[in-house]
Amino acid sequence: MTVAGSSGAAEVAYLLSARAVRERAEQMLALGERGALTHFSVDTTALPAVAARVVGVTRANYPRLDTIPYHSRWRHFGADRLRTLNERLAEASTEDRLRAQFELVIPSVLLDAGAGTRWNFREPSTGVAVGRSEGLALASFHLFVDGGLSSDPARPLRADAAGLAHVSAADIARAFAVRPDNPLPGVEGRADLLRRLGDVVATTPRYFGGTAPRLGNLADYLLRLSVGDALPATAVLGAVLEALGPIWPGRQSLHGVNLGDTWMHPQVGLVPFHKLSQWLTYSLLEPLEQAGIRVTGLDDLTGLAEYRNGGLFVDGGVLVPKQDSVLTDAHVVGSAVVVEWRALTVALLDRTAAEVQRLLGVDAQQLPLAKVLEGGTWNAGRQIAKEKRPDGGPPIRVDSDGTVF
C-alpha cells in the first residue's frame, strides 16, 4: 500500500470503511430529501408500505423470527449440498474446516456479479435449473468441490494460489455452462478476478501464508485478531478490504491505493459501497461463529447497494426517477444515476430496518440489519420485481463488468 503521509492514510482508511459507506449514503439521502439530486427524488411517505411488504415477506419466509440467519452466500448453496461437503470434511480439524469454508465462499461471492435474465445453471446430479444468484452459487459450489480452484488433485477442497492463478475464461464458461443460448455477462471479468485473487494470495504472506499460500489462511489471520474469542465485524471487513483490495480492476484510487467499489459523484465526492466485500464479510461471519468466535458490532456494517434492495425502493415508489431515461437506458456502474441509486439504497435500508423492527416488536439486537436483509428486503425486492416485470429483472439496467453487481 502506498499512502502519502498520515492525512493521506487517514483519508484512505476512512473510505475503506463501513462508516464511510453509511455517512456518504446519508449525505446523498439528505440531498434527495431536499430535491437537490439530478436523477432521483425521494418520497418517504412510501416507505411505510415498503417496510410492511418486508415484514410480510419476512413472516412468510421465517414464521419464527429467531430462526432468521444472516444475509449471506450460505443461503444459496442448499442444506443437502453443505451436508455432503461437511461429510467430506468430517475428519478435518476445526481450523482446516474453517479454511475450506473460506475457500468455498470467498470465490463464490466474488463470482456473484449479476447473471442477467437469460442465464441459468442446470445441476448435472439433480437436474435442478436455477438462474441469477442461486444459479451462480451452485455453479461456483461445484467448481470448488470438483477441485477447480486447487493445484493439487489429491486435495480438491481448497483454493490455493496456483489453482486460482490458472483459472481461464474457458474454465468459467465450462463450469457455468455458458453457451450462445445460455449467455452469462462478464465471463472474462470473473476469470480475471480469480486470477488476480491468486496473485494476491501468492504475494501477501501476512494474510495467506508464505509457504504453500492458500486463500483459507485468511481465517487464521482473523482468528489471531480475536480477543477472548470476540471479533468485531468491522475487523473482518477491514481484513477483506485490505487483503483483497488489489484484486479489483483499475477504478478510483487515492494516494496510490485502489479504493475498490468506490465511485465519484459530482455533489458528494467519493462514495464507497464495498458491496461484494460487505456481503463477503456477512458470509464469513457464519463459519467464524461456528468455530467459536463471537462477532460483535454487527450493525456497524451497512446494507448492500445492489439491485434487489435498490429495486425495492424504486418499484415501491420511494425513489422516483426524474427522467424517463433512468428506467429506459442502460447505465454504466460509475454513472451518477447508479451512484445516486446505490447510495440512496444504503441509507434507506437503515430506515427500513428500523421500521421493520418496530412493526415486528423487536430491537436491533434481536433482528440486526444483516437479518432484515435476509428476511427481508432482498426477497421483497425480488417479489415486487416479478410483479412489475415479466422477467423479474431490476427496474434500472446496469452494464456490469462482472465485478460489482
Instruction: pLDDT tens for the chain, 405 residues: list them.
Output: 445 556 788 999 999 999 999 999 999 999 999 999 999 999 999 999 999 999 999 999 999 999 999 999 999 999 999 999 999 999 999 999 999 999 999 999 999 877 878 899 999 989 989 998 899 999 999 999 999 999 999 999 999 999 999 999 999 999 999 999 999 988 998 999 999 999 999 999 999 999 999 999 999 999 999 999 999 999 999 999 999 988 887 678 898 888 989 999 999 999 999 998 999 999 999 999 999 999 999 999 999 999 999 999 999 999 999 999 999 999 999 999 999 999 999 999 999 999 999 999 999 999 999 999 999 999 999 999 999 999 898 999 998 765 665
Answer yes or no: are the C-beta atoms of 74 and 396 closer than 8 Å. Answer: no
3-state helix, strand, coil in the chain (%, to 5): 55, 10, 35
Of all helices (H) and strands (E), which one includes residue 198?
Answer: helix 187-203
Residues belonging to the chain: 405
For residue 292 the three cell numbers come to 467459536
Please give the C-alpha separations between residue 393 and each of 8, 111, 129, 386, in angstroms, as whole numbers: 41, 19, 18, 7
Instruction: Write down the pTM of the prediction.
Output: 0.92
**CA 182 – CA 174 distance, rounded (Å):** 12
**256, burial (CB in 10 Å: exposed 0-12, middle 13-18, buried 19+):** exposed
